[in-house]
Amino acid sequence: MNPAEWSDASPINVNLGFGIPPKAPYISAEIWSKYDSNWIYFLYRITWPSNDISKMDAGFVEYFWGQSTGGLTTQYSNYGQVNYGNQVWEGYGYNGKMFQAEPQSDIQNNLQGAASYDGTHYWFEFRKALNSGDGLDWALTPGHTYGWENGTSVYDGFFSLGLYRGLTGDIYIAYITVDLSTTPIPEFGSVSIVAFFGLAVCVYVLRRSSRAMSRRR
């Protein structure tokens, strides 16, 4: 990670809960995020014990949309991750059990990232296209808000992020609302935490960034 790349972003503190819906045990994380005209960028710092690390552990983000009224059923879904082995993966079309893998050529164009471990924390840094145009990914538009608020999808669908344990299939997750602001705000990453149906929701605003994260393989 190059600190200069994130000097225009401030972290938010997130408790990632185990399973769906999230519950104890919780793990602590710091999340940085920003966007430019082509990409949305994420940096996760997740507390994790050194005696339980795995190359298969991954930082992920996912978005479900086209939601039916009053339920969690969605027509569309998109998922991206980078694991501690520095491999990226994208999926779409969640069927209730798993995502379908996107073609490797699409992944190379739409998602780049890298990961490390410092003895106390996983670091996952990646960027994902705002709109790949390939018909399989999300299409995010500056000026719009995505995710949940106060227990209902007042926007469209729902966003979540967290840690995926590749060897066991366990996840630690938080649901978020993302506001892609088109106007300058005094401080990036202002956060409020609300609870609904037992879920902690992080609401934050992304400001447009002039700094881009360098491409990593």
The 10s digit of each residue's pLDDT in 11-36 is 888 899 999 888 999 999 999 888 88
Share of the chain above pLDDT 70, in %: 73
Euclidean distance between CA atoms 171 and 176, whole angstroms:
16
- Confidence band of 65 (pLDDT split at 50, 70, 90): confident
Q: What pLDDT shows up at residue 88? A: 95
Higher pLDDT, residue 118 or 96: 118
Domain coordinates in residue numbering, the chain: 3-206
Euclidean distance between CA atoms 115 and 137, whole angstroms:
22
- Confidence band of 190 (pLDDT split at 50, 70, 90): very low
CA-wise closest residue to 155 among 132, 137, 138, 171: 138
Beta-carbon contacts of residue 36 (< 8 Å; ≥ 6 apart): 208, 209, 210, 211, 212
Residue where the block lists tokens 């059990």: 97
Question: pLDDT at residue 43 above 60?
Answer: yes
* Residues facing 204 on adjacent strands: 178, 191
Higher pLDDT, residue 33 or 59: 59
Higher pLDDT, residue 179 or 48: 48
pLDDT tens sequence across 127-174 = 999 999 888 899 988 877 777 654 555 556 778 899 999 999 999 998
Higher pLDDT, residue 37 or 48: 48
- Mean pLDDT along residues 208-215: 36
Euclidean distance between CA atoms 71 and 68, whole angstroms:
6
Higher pLDDT, residue 59 or 132: 59
Please give the structure tokens belonging to residue 44: 């996760």
- Mean pLDDT along residues 180-191: 43
Question: pLDDT at residue 106 above 90?
Answer: no
Question: Contact 198/22 with Cβ under 8 angstroms?
Answer: yes
- Residue 3: φ, ψ to 5°: -55, -30
- Confidence band of 187 (pLDDT split at 50, 70, 90): very low
Q: Domain 3-206 falls in which CATH fold?
A: Immunoglobulin-like (2.60.40)
Higher pLDDT, residue 95 or 163: 163
